[in-house]
Chain A
Amino acid sequence: MQIVTPELGLIFWQLVIFGIVLILLRAFAWKPILASLKERESSIEGALRMADQAKLEMQELKAGNEKLLAEARMERDRILKEATDVSNQLIEQAKNKATEEGSRMIMQAREAIQNEKNSALAEVKNTAAKLSIDIAERILRRELADQPAQQQLVDSYLQEVKLN
């Protein structure tokens, strides 16, 4: 039968034309098309992977931030505590110092008073001694002249002493 008998001419042309089409399409269509498809797919895949990575990084960053925040809070608490301690200490120190200073000043004052007192007593003693010597001298001088007058003199001197 004719329709199931392959014709040589058509086989030849089919081989030639199909071959040319295959070679041309391979070079100018399939290779660029498949390459672009592959490139697009890999770029999409890359983008997805990058998004995932970004998400992960974001989570890490968030966790890091929280950690940092917690650390900062702890640091703040510590600093506050330290500051309170230091200030308390300072106040204590100042108090102590003030007390010490006060007592020292009181001591000094007492000492000064004591010194003043001592020197005053010494002066009183000296003056009394001098007066006594003076009086004794004058008495001795008057005794030579008049008895009543001597008495009078002693009285007046004594009066003078009292006035002092």
Chain B
Amino acid sequence: MKRLLLVLLCFLSFSVYANEPTATTEEATDKEAFSPGEMILHHIGDSHEWHWFSTDNDHFTTYLPVIAFRPGQGVSVFSSRNLAEGKVYEGLKLEHEHLVSEDGSKVYDFSITKNVASLMISAVLLLAVFTAVARGYAKRGSGAPKGIQSFFEPIIVFIRDEVAKKSIGPKYERYMPYLLTVFFFIWFNNLMGLMPGGANLTGNIAVTLTLAVLTLLITLFSSNKNYWHHIFATPGVPKPLLPIMIPVELIGIVVKPFSLMVRLFANITAGHIVTLSFISLIFIFRSLTVSPVTLAFGLFINCLELLVAILQAYIFTLLTAMYIGGAVEEHHDADYQMGGGDGAEPAHAH
């Protein structure tokens, strides 16, 4: 998926370069040439202000607070308005949306960026929605669900029965809060990212990295001795092969959450890039006739993204549950992928 993304990005940048000379010669009167690659990267990236839209003369932007920590100088908090259009404030400036100090000293950027603001909104939304659902249960007890409660109940039950119970087994209850939170967090943020003006939060590698690391930590902290036995003395593997198997298994521990991180990031980012590319076509061709095609494809991709939004949330949750399930699994006479189905006797490899 990541490679695909890179190819896509390369393709996009080619088109930009290919377009530029013609644009500059033919439309020399234009103030600035339209660069889809830059526009798309700007859209899927993070920024210190929330840019809504621009007219010919005005930019409609919400300036967000900048919180910078510099060793020796302490914390400075100010509005990102002070840094707009390359201005320098308190010795800080923005270089490609990156906060740097003028003198080149180290800056730790804890700003409430667009993504952080979106994250906070989604947190409030999640809390509001699910406390409302919980209130429904408090009010109706074990009666039939109603309203928002009945919308989310099948999803919660699905996560519990199809994801947690099947993947983790009898110890699933401990992990339900994490699984449900991760699922709804990813889903809600995916949907918020699809909204006009929304931030690309779940398509940000920092966010997916954090979620993947949390999954890794939960897996490691709930692992039992069978899990480590499988890694350091993989059953069914001859002793001389263990020096090869152990590093492979150890890499496997990290690769699993790494795949989680990249999968979510790449899927969501790719979706945004494709949608934006179709919209960019209008500006590249500078023609109204291309817009029906563009809109049709854009709409199609957007609908696909609605599906991807819930699918990726489900996949992340399911894989998290499976990794946890692998870590908490009690020892049983495994068939080492050699035995038959349910009815068959487990093949003992002694």
* CB of A164 closer than 8 Å to a CB of B: no
Question: Quick check: A30 and B108 within 8 Å, CB to CB?
Answer: no
Q: Nearest chain-B residue to A19 (Cβ)?
A: B214
Residue contact B180 to A30, C-beta cutoff 8 Å: yes
Chain A residues within an 8 Å CB radius of B67: 9
A68 at the interface (CB under 8 A from B): no
Nearest chain B CB to A34's CB is how many angstroms away? 6
B123 touches A37 (CB 8 A): no
Q: Chain A residues near B45: list those with CB within 8 A.
A: 2-3
> Quick check: B109 and A25 within 8 Å, CB to CB?
no
Q: Is there a chain A Cβ closer than 8 Å to B300's Cβ? A: no
Collect the chain B residues with CB atoms within 8 Å of residue A29's CB. Answer: 127, 130-131, 133-134
- Contact status A30-B116, CB under 8 Å: no
- With A13-B119, A37-B157 as known contacts, state yes or no: A25 contacts B209, CB within 8 Å: no
Contact A9 to B113, CB < 8 A, known contacts A3-B41, A18-B211, A37-B156: yes
B81 at the interface (CB under 8 A from A): no
Please determine whether B181 and A25 come into contact, CB atoms closer than 8 angstroms.
Answer: yes
Tell which of B18-26, B136-144, B223-231, B252-260 binds the partner.
Answer: B136-144
Assess the B176–A25 pair: CB atoms within 8 A. Answer: no
In chain B, positions 38-79 with a C-beta closer than 8 Å to chain A are 41, 44-46, 67
A8, B130: Cβ atoms closer than 8 Å: no
A64 at the interface (CB under 8 A from B): no
Question: Considering the chains assembled together, what is the distance between the CA atoms of A36 and B176 in angstroms?
Answer: 14
- Cβ proximity bits B131-166 to A, threshold 8 Å, 1 near / 0 not: 101100110011100000000010011001000000
CA distance A12 to B209 in the complex (A): 11
Q: How many residues of B contact A (CB 8 A)?
A: 52
Partner of A33, one of B97, B120, B133: B133
A29 to B45 Cα, complex, angstroms: 32
| A14 cross-chain contacts in B, Cβ below 8 A | 119, 206-207, 210-211
Nearest A residue (CB) for B97 = A2
Say yes or no for B34: interface residue by CB 8 A criterion: no
Chain A contact-residue range equals 20 to 34
Contacts A6-B205, A13-B119; A36 near B141 (Cβ below 8 A): yes
Interface centre among A3, A18, A29, A31 (most CB of B within 10 A): A29
A8 to B130, CA, bound (A): 29
Count chain B CB atoms within 10 A of each CB in A20, A22, A39 and give the residue with the most: A22
B269 at the interface (CB under 8 A from A): yes
Majority secondary structure of chain A interface residues (helix, strand, loop or mixed): helix
Q: How far is the CA of A18 from the CA of B214 in the complex (A)?
A: 10
Q: Determine the chain B residues whose CB is within 8 A of the CB of A79 once the complex forms.
A: none
Q: Tell me if A30 and B181 are in contact (CB < 8 A).
A: yes
Q: Are A37 and B46 in contact (CB under 8 A)?
A: no
A7 to B46: give the CA distance in the assembly, Å: 9
What chain B residues lie within 8 Å of A163 (beta carbons)?
A: none
The answer for the CA separation of A9 and B113 in the assembled complex, in Å, is 9
Q: B142 near A43 (CB under 8 angstroms)?
A: yes
Closest to A29 in B: B130
Whole-angstrom distance between the Cβ of A18 and the nearest chain B Cβ: 7
Shortest beta-carbon distance, A106 to chain B, in Å? 95
- In angstroms, Cα B115 to Cα A13, docked, is 10
- Give the residue of B44, B137, B157, B177 whose beta carbon is less than 8 angstroms from that of A26: B177
Q: Tell whether A17 is near chain B: CB-to-CB under 8 Å.
A: yes
Nearest residue, chain B, Cβ from A36? B137
Residues in chain B near residue A39, CB distance under 8 A? 141-142
Would A25 and B207 count as touching, CB distance under 8 A?
A: no
Is there a chain A Cβ closer than 8 Å to B126's Cβ?
Answer: yes
Q: Quick check: A10 and B116 within 8 Å, CB to CB? A: yes
* Chain B residues at the A interface, C-beta cutoff of 8 Å: 2, 41, 44-46, 67, 96-98, 108-113, 115-116, 119-120, 123, 126-127, 130-131, 133-134, 137-138, 141-143, 153, 156-157, 160, 173, 176-178, 180-181, 185, 204-207, 209-211, 214, 265, 269
Closest 9 A/B residue pairs (Cβ): A29-B130, A40-B142, A36-B137, A6-B206, A26-B177, A10-B206, A14-B210, A13-B116, A30-B177
Q: Can you list 29 residue pairs at the A/B interface with Cβ under 8 Å?
A: A3-B205, A4-B2, A7-B109, A8-B108, A8-B206, A9-B67, A9-B109, A9-B110, A11-B209, A13-B119, A14-B119, A14-B206, A18-B123, A18-B211, A22-B181, A25-B126, A25-B130, A25-B181, A28-B130, A29-B133, A30-B177, A33-B130, A34-B160, A34-B173, A36-B137, A36-B142, A37-B156, A37-B160, A40-B142
